[in-house]
A and B are shown apart, each in its own frame.
Chain A
Amino acid sequence: MSQSVNKKTAYALAIAGCLFLLTMATTGWAIEQLLAAQHWVSHSHKVISGYKELLRVCLDCETAQRGYMASGDANFLEPLNKSLQSVSKIADQLQSLTADDDVETARMQKIRGEVENKLDFIDTVIKTYSNSPEAAIAIVKTYKGKRLMDKIRALIADSEMWQRQLLKKREAAVASLQILVGFLIVVFTLLEAASLIYTYKLNNAFSEDQRKRTDALEAEIKLRLATEQSLRETSQYLARSNQDLQQFAYVASHDLQEPLRAVQGFTTLLAKTYKGQLSEQADGWIDQTVSGVDRMRTLINGLLQYARVESRGAQMEAIDLNAVIKDALQDLSLLIDETAAEIKVDQSLPTVQGDASQLRLLFVNLINNAIKYRGDKTPKVEISALQITPNWQICVEDNGIGFDMQHQEKIFVIFQRLHSRNQYEGTGIGLALCRRIVERHRGTITAISTVGSGSKFMIKLPINTGAISTRRVEEIVA
């Protein structure tokens, strides 16, 4: 993007530069042409004034001749001597001035010839006069001198007209040249301006684009900072609630045990010692107290187990799930026998990174649930594994009563139960404990079900978990 902008800018600037040079060249050329035209104008003027000078010399000579003839004074002849010199000098100048113009050269030679004829004639008259003034007057009366003079005048007039025409032509050429040059300069300047404006706009657009991108980046950075902040807050919150849970675990394992033991102990003593001696109602109350305390103990122990998933977890190591399932089934052997449950286990369960006793607890809970919620049927439980890279998916599937899929998430929330205690005993801790264990193993647990035909619990555990940190939460805190 920026490279193409740079290229375009370079091209536009190059074009503008060329146009500028063209403008300069055109201007220079125009000035040269104008100077040349100027030269031609003065050239024409010089030619015309040259001819006029010739004419003046002729008139001077004639005047000298007349003065001499009228007075007989030879002093009047003085200009004649100079005239001959100046005629040849002026004629030479004219020769070079008109060298470029054949017509003019021819005419100039004719004029020169006539001027020389005139001067010869004057010379002849003067020379004749010194011998015989009458003879001289007779020559003058031939009007040859006047005809020669008229001829010269006519030729000069022709030349003048010719020069003026030339001048006019040249002036017209200069005028049209001026128009052309003006037009060219305007066009070039406009083009130059256009390419400069293009360059400016290009760069402006580019910097606009740049600015937009900078803004977008800034916004992104802000967003990321905010996200990071909220993540930090969340992790602090999680760490706090985890600490609360650990604190609870401590309280539950120490301070709650003693009163619980007292109630349980004395109620048991009461029941043992006085059962049958009090009223039937008193016996009933004692039974209620005993079962209430039992339930409380189960709850506290469940919570303790839940809290201790993090705080009492063992180091992660390679665990063969086949062995884990075997141990879990051993734990449940009584229940399996009682219910004649059919348990089918995939023979090639994987080895994962984990905590053996927690994984055992996980499968004990899941298989126990599968059998517990069997309904009227003989329970069938199938445990299988499937590789869905990067995870192992381990499924525990049953043919039990199932659950409504709208409770898909609720079943994993601690103390959330879908059945009353009259229907199914339970604390509402089991599946929450399962999820906590799976999460400590950096996995996920989900369930799908069809009411009446069974449930399927799916556990995803990472395949390659060489370096699981068992102290995730503590690390975040630190």
Chain B
Amino acid sequence: MNVKDIQILMVEDSPSDAELAVEAFKQSRVVNTLTIIDNGGDAMEYLQRKGKYCDAQLPDLILLDLNLPVKNGHTVLAEIKQDPLLKRIPVIILTTSESERDVLESYNLQASAYITKPVDFDKFITIVKDIQHFYFVVATTPPNGGRND
């Protein structure tokens, strides 16, 4: 297990889904910091460290919902991938949608993975564990998640 301080940004507008995600990550006992932002606009400000997020840390992994207020998930994804600093951060789409169109568009916009949220909580925990295991144990992510510090 990697012991360094892992930062995960979750962009999720459903409080219950967010809370369940928090619980799932808790049970996997890996993450140090899980930041949750509930709309696309704030998510971009956070990533660009603007306004109230000026001292925010860039995440190692982004979990992005598609159905978001202010700016939808695809827009956020496109903006991330156009930003030279942010584009290397892996973005996983975590959404309720099973629509083929959403899947295609997400990969066209260079999402790292597309995952449909399961209803069953136990399955959700498994997925969270799998994500962490893959990105933080199996795979090598960009150094410092692209952070400058």
Interface, chain A (partner B; CB < 8 A): 253-254, 257-262, 264-266, 268-269, 297
Interchain CB contact under 8 A, A258 and B16: yes
Interchain CB contact under 8 A, B119 and A264: yes
Partner of A265, one of B16, B67, B98: B16
The complex places the Cα of A257 from the Cα of B65 at a distance, in Å, of 14
Closest beta carbon of chain A to B16's beta carbon, Å = 4
Interchain CB contact under 8 A, B119 and A253: no
- Interface residues of B, count at CB 8 A: 17
Per-position binary interface string of chain B over residues 100-124, scored 1 when its CB falls under 8 Å from any chain A CB and 0 otherwise: 0000000000000000011111101
Q: Is the interface of A mostly helix, strand, loop or mixed?
A: helix
Closest beta carbon of chain B to A442's beta carbon, Å = 25
Q: Which residue of B lies closest to A296 (CB)?
A: B119
Residues of A within 8 A of B124 (CB): 261, 265
Interchain CB contact under 8 A, B14 and A253: no
Q: Which residue of B lies closest to A308 (CB)?
A: B98
Interchain CB contact under 8 A, A253 and B97: yes
Interchain CB contact under 8 A, A257 and B119: yes
Interchain CB contact under 8 A, A258 and B121: no
Interchain CB contact under 8 A, B16 and A257: no
Interchain CB contact under 8 A, A253 and B98: yes
Residues of B within 8 A of A265 (CB): 16, 20, 23, 121, 124
Instruction: Decide yes or no whether B17 CB sits under 8 A from chain A.
Output: yes
Interface, chain B (partner A; CB < 8 A): 14, 16-17, 19-20, 23, 67, 96-98, 117-122, 124
**Also in contact, A257 and B117, with CB within 8 A (given A262-B16, A269-B23):** yes
Interchain CB contact under 8 A, B67 and A254: yes
> Apart from A254-B67, A257-B119, A261-B96, what are 8 other A-B pairs with CB-CB below 8 Å?
A258-B96, A261-B118, A262-B20, A265-B16, A265-B124, A266-B19, A266-B20, A269-B121
Closest beta carbon of chain A to B68's beta carbon, Å = 13
Closest beta carbon of chain B to A311's beta carbon, Å = 11
Interchain CB contact under 8 A, A261 and B119: yes
Interchain CB contact under 8 A, B119 and A254: no
Residues of B within 8 A of A260 (CB): 119
Interchain CB contact under 8 A, B20 and A257: no
Partner of B16, one of A253, A254, A261, A297: A261
Give 13 pairs: A residue, B residue, CB < 8 Å, sorted on A. Answer: A254-B96, A259-B16, A260-B119, A261-B16, A261-B17, A261-B118, A261-B124, A264-B119, A264-B120, A265-B20, A265-B124, A266-B19, A269-B121
Closest beta carbon of chain A to B42's beta carbon, Å = 20
Interchain CB contact under 8 A, A264 and B121: yes
The complex places the Cα of A268 from the Cα of B14 at a distance, in Å, of 18
Interchain CB contact under 8 A, A261 and B117: yes
The complex places the Cα of A466 from the Cα of B118 at a distance, in Å, of 39
Closest beta carbon of chain A to B97's beta carbon, Å = 7
The complex places the Cα of A253 from the Cα of B97 at a distance, in Å, of 7
